[in-house]
Amino acid sequence: PIDDKAKRMRDLLSSFYSSDPGSATSATPLPTASSRFATLDTINTLSFDADQYMNLLVQKENLEGLLHKHVEMAAEIKNLDTDLQMLVYENYNKFISATDTIRRMKNNIAGMETSMEQLLEKIVSVQSRSDGVNTSLFKKREHIEKLHRTRNLLRKVQQFIYDLPARLEKCIKSESYDDAVKFYTGAMPIFQAYGESSFRDCKKQSEAAVSKIIKNLQ
């Protein structure tokens, strides 16, 4: 069956090929300077002129050719419409996907902002406490340093007392009695204060070594 467009085209061709010269003249526009060099290939160019194209097509094709061209162009238009719909559909899906991605990124960023704010609050709290501790320690720093020096001194004294019996024995073997007397005399205040508690064994061993020295000197 022939649709309305094909019917109108057939009527136009009938009037164009009519034996009446007047009707043919009225149906066919006079060619212009630009249409003299026009071709059917201009349909794919930016300068396409539909009226000029139709006039040229009517001049070059017979009725069967025009009907064939009509069917061909209708199929091409349908294919283009289908391609356009598919293109719109694909881009729409991409747009929806991009929108979902942006929404997820926004939610993630919002969560990160909350976490960063909480972290910043904790950092500020730690910094405040650290400043408080530094202020408190600064006031007591001198006292702490003094205690540290005293502790180091006590460690040295303690080590000296523990090593005293062995030193006295070395002095006896080398007959360095002057050094032995000096070492023992230096330890006497410690033995008097702590000789019956912390350094009891060291005191007994040192007294035994001093007894040997006295015996050797007699």
User: How many domains are contained in the chain?
Assistant: 2
Last residue of a domain, one of 42, 60, 78: 60
Can you give the pLDDT at residue 6?
54
**Averaged in consecutive runs of 10 residues, what is the pLDDT profile of the chain (218 residues)?**
54 50 42 48 72 83 84 85 80 82 78 79 87 76 81 86 88 86 86 79 87 83
User: Distance between CA atoms of 96 and 159, rounded to whole angstroms?
Assistant: 81
Whats the size of the chain, residue-wise? Answer: 218
User: Distance between CA atoms of 131 and 29, rounded to whole angstroms?
Assistant: 97
Tell whether 87 is covered by a domain: no
Tell whether 73 is covered by a domain: no
Angle at 152 between CA 177 and CA 168, to 5 degrees: 15
Can you give the pLDDT at residue 107?
75
Tell whether 112 is covered by a domain: no
CA-derived radius of gyration, the chain:
58
User: Distance between CA atoms of 190 and 24, rounded to whole angstroms?
Assistant: 143
Distance of CA 6 to the CA centre of its chain: 64
Can you give the pLDDT at residue 29?
45
Structure tokens at 187: 């330890």
Tell whether 190 is covered by a domain: yes
Tell whether 22 is covered by a domain: yes
User: Distance between CA atoms of 10 and 67, rounded to whole angstroms?
Assistant: 8
Domain that holds residue 35: 4-60
Using an 8 Å Cβ cutoff, are 16 and 27 in contact? yes
Tell whether 52 is covered by a domain: yes
The count of other CB atoms within 10 Å of the CB of residue 171 is: 20
Tell whether 198 is covered by a domain: yes
Tell whether 8 is covered by a domain: yes
Can you give the pLDDT at residue 37?
46
Angle at 91 between CA 85 and CA 94, to 5 degrees: 145
